[in-house]
Structure 1
């Protein structure tokens, strides 16, 4: 009977699913009548504009497909780029020095979240997006863990004013929240996350000079930045916060957004904490927007794609120049490599050397900070930053001598496809889907963390290589649907070993393999793998199964 007596707060026009029984305390704490009223008002106010920007995304893609035109710098916003006088508002002191943040930290992982709070990192990317699987359990648990951290309720962690600053990363616009409806419509995932995080924590974070600070994922245009700015202003008014209290770093993860970086900063100038550049979501966006064109064939990422290539180096250089010109901070990507436990091993030293080389490239480009996943990399990367930069940040590096053209941003690197790269992409894609079906947003494979960003580039490349019938460098075979299916089936035992599957998980792995094969052979490229999975009945049914098992375990524990 435990599952039938769940607490549920109600508010007119709002339909909220009951939580798993194991989360009743968290649910009651977060979903008060006042919080539901705030969420209802937030979604009612901005749902039409969210729908509009998503339709504009579709329209832009259709225009590119029909006209064959290439992305470029906008003529109608040239006056913003050409005006040398405007600047973003200065960021608070706690954001001035963030050399090393912890990336991909899913806050529903309480143990790792507490480790992050105790670490010497300057910031934590509290990730409800790339590194998180948005099950109802994960969202409620993650938001509640932030609630506890802000109130210093975790044992033996520093007060929030002294802990690494929380950079809260809600879901991107492509995600909805299935478990809450306002006036008969499922609400946008980012508004669910942002609304609850702001309502419960904004004032306390502001009082402790520790926020509220955000990362904004997958922004594709300055119009989307303008929408976020309107949301910030509305929220500040509703919560009686000073204008400009919210500060947000926009992740430039789409090739189209790289041509609107100044405009994005301009729209958020009262609320901007800068821009961020990464590698895999950004690279995958080329396939997403232009991948059916042979000119935009992206070669094997395991061999030919890195931040030293022209299209990625130009993107990073332009981002740094744009930010520093406007007084904004520029941050780099995340080091995904994991250190082995033996500090004296050759592998340990090799990984440190590799990460050092890649992060030194970003420092020399002028970034003001970057992320690592492995917390043992925090101190060596902080020392690297202190050794090769001056002071808290590198805002003084204006890069006035740098010019980046559309050709620089759009020229694909040379190279082909290897059998190793094809198999690696298949493995990452399949294992990510398996992780999602089990309620996890990331997993570990071959010595590094993999998340939705690497899953996106993996499945995107396999789709594109099939579309263009690319030949393998190894033996000249064409990459076809049949070859990918054959390789995937032959890899089942290795993938099973990688997941350390039990019988039930082996069945889930087989389901994940089937879903991966389905997604890479579709004629119309699914825009986001996470959206495709999140709307699929397989994921929804598996999510309900996890919640039922959690409830059953909670009930047995009480007995």
Structure 2
């Protein structure tokens, strides 16, 4: 029951957008959604905590749940048929924070099959960014952005609300801040679902950081509640679940089963998934993750097994399987050797995923869309590979075997730089940034700070000189990296102060006795964007 609604004031400069979004009907819908599922959100977060405690107390490892074996062994069930517009998702544009109007419009004008409309990893969730981004989505759906195709002809919008770990500070229902994903999902679905449905273009979602079938079950209940509330047929809403946790990799069939009426498949990434090993087992020396810049890629056993299992699981059940995002950026000079080198690298990495059986993947650089579409056309017939079911047997050991390798000084400094620059970008209101020829976001920030925390914890040895990674060494390197970044990125005292604060906060987070689960939660909950400090 909704008793009290407390909504923040409009962000400066967005008064019109605020009024357009927060109509009486929309606020009532949001409040009803939040009050209906508020306790359920608490329960899944408690379940996450209890599961981590149980793993730590028993020193156990995850495995395929025996109590759900009947779901895995039952060959008869499949997901509902995939809508026409989701049958070809070969190349999506990833990390598209829609508050960046210019990039969002470019993506809508592109030939990509889809757009990951990102309110999560590639977005910094200030109230300003959320309002502007959601408003821009509404404008796109209603064909009000300049020189953009109608929504039925534009790339399909895959709307990605925040994950369960995030809250919205600017709206309270019954005295509690509303869960971030419900805020994003509620406004998006209320304002766009009817038009998207009528145009056969949605509503379609990405679901981030789902860790168990119980979380998938909650999303399914939210979808059914919405469909009944808005008088849509059951199964109208479709969602792709990002498998970003090692725990979720053991429950992929169960996750699909819970969402079988609403599933648009599963997605495999790289860095969030790799970081989850540190999150869940980082205190164990046998789960020491080596230098990601040298030893961690999708060809390694634990990641290749995860991708093979994801493709097999999806295709057995009639669901699309999508791969990760190419983060490399093409140089401006198309005639340069560097341009050809970057393009060849992306092609090699993405061809590996195509041969593994994925039905699509993401690129950040819009300039890569056409060449990646050609790559698909050269190697597969038809819009997808749903008929390809890898004949693999993936075991618990396959999924949990860390790749061999050590730690390099280069990798340590690279992780420090990415961690610092992410925090610095966050306090500028940006959820991603560019560094050394590629885009970095919260996923790469997670693996970067995770590895530094873990290497300090275990005193990992540097390959360069066999010295140990210690807090003192990291402090010294943070100072070095801060100075290098100041020379490259700072043009004012304000920039220097923000970078210095980011460096201090990075040191704070990698020295914590207990591992902070998500850096975004840590920044959003403990520091709330440090508004006014800069």
- Structure 1 length-normalised TM: 0.94
- CA offsets 1:73-118 (integer angstroms, 9 cap, x no match): 0011111001000000011100000100000000000000000000
The alignment status of 1:507 with 2:500, answered yes or no, reads no
1:495 positional shift:
1.1
Shift of 1:20: 1.6
Alignment of 1:281 onto 2:259 = no
1:529 counterpart residue number = 519
Report the Cα distance in structure 2 between the residues aligned to 1:412 and 1:70, rounded to whole angstroms.
14
C-alpha separation in 2, matches of 1:226 and 1:215: 15
Counterpart in the other structure of 1:129: 120
Q: Pairwise CA RMSD of aligned residues? A: 1.0
User: Cα distance, 1:501 vs. partner?
Assistant: 3.9
SS at match of 1:76: helix
Find out whether 1:196 has 2:201 as its counterpart.
Answer: no
For 1:144, what is the secondary structure of its paired residue?
A: helix
Show structure 2 runs of 5+ residues with no match: none
Q: Partner of 1:344 in structure 2?
A: 335
Matched, 1:394 2:385: yes
CA distance, structure 2, for counterparts of residue 525 and residue 274 of structure 1: 31
The whole-number CA distance in structure 2 between the counterparts of 1:161 and 1:328 is 22
Q: Cα distance, 1:12 vs. partner?
A: 5.6
For the structure 1 residues 479 and 391, does the alpha-carbon distance in structure 2 shift closer, same or farther, using more than 3 Å as the test? Answer: same
The offset of 1:545, in angstroms, is: 6.7
Q: Which residue of 1 aligns with 2:244?
A: 253
SS, match of residue 148 in structure 2: coil
Residue in 1 that maps onto 2:216: 225
| Alignment equivalent of 2:437, drawn from 447, 451, 455 | 447
Could you tell me how far apart the structure 2 residues matched to 1:243 and 1:496 are? 54
Q: Which residue of 2 aligns with 1:143?
A: 134
Structure 1 distance, partners of 2:474, 2:497, is 20
Q: Is the 8 A contact 1:445 1:498 kept in 2?
A: no
Contact 1:110 1:145 in 2 (8 A): yes
Distance 1:97 1:359 in 2: 16
Deviation at 1:70, TM superposition (A): 0.7
Match of 1:298 in 2: 289
Q: Distance in 2 between matches of 1:268 and 1:408?
A: 26
**2:456 matched to 1:429?**
no
Contact conserved, 1:363 with 1:385, CA < 8 A, in 2? yes
- Identify which of 386, 403, 411 aligns with 2:401: 411
Q: Relative to 1, partners in 2 of residues 1:356 and 1:389: Cα closer, same or farther, differing over 3 Å?
A: same
* Alpha carbons of structure 1 residues 501 and 459: separation in structure 2 relative to 1, 3 Å: farther
Q: TM-score, normalised by structure 2?
A: 0.99
Q: Do structure 1's residue 541 and structure 2's residue 530 form an aligned pair? A: yes
Aligned residue number for residue 363 of structure 2: 372
What is aligned with 2:143? Answer: 152
State the shift of 1:471 in Å: 0.9
2:239 is equivalent to residue 240 of structure 1 = no
- Segments of 5+ residues of structure 1 without an aligned counterpart are 1-10, 547-559
Task: Quote how far apart the aligned CAs of 1:491 are.
Answer: 1.7
| Alignment: residue pair count | 533
For residues 499 and 393 of structure 1, the distance between their equivalents in structure 2, rounded to whole angstroms, comes to 43
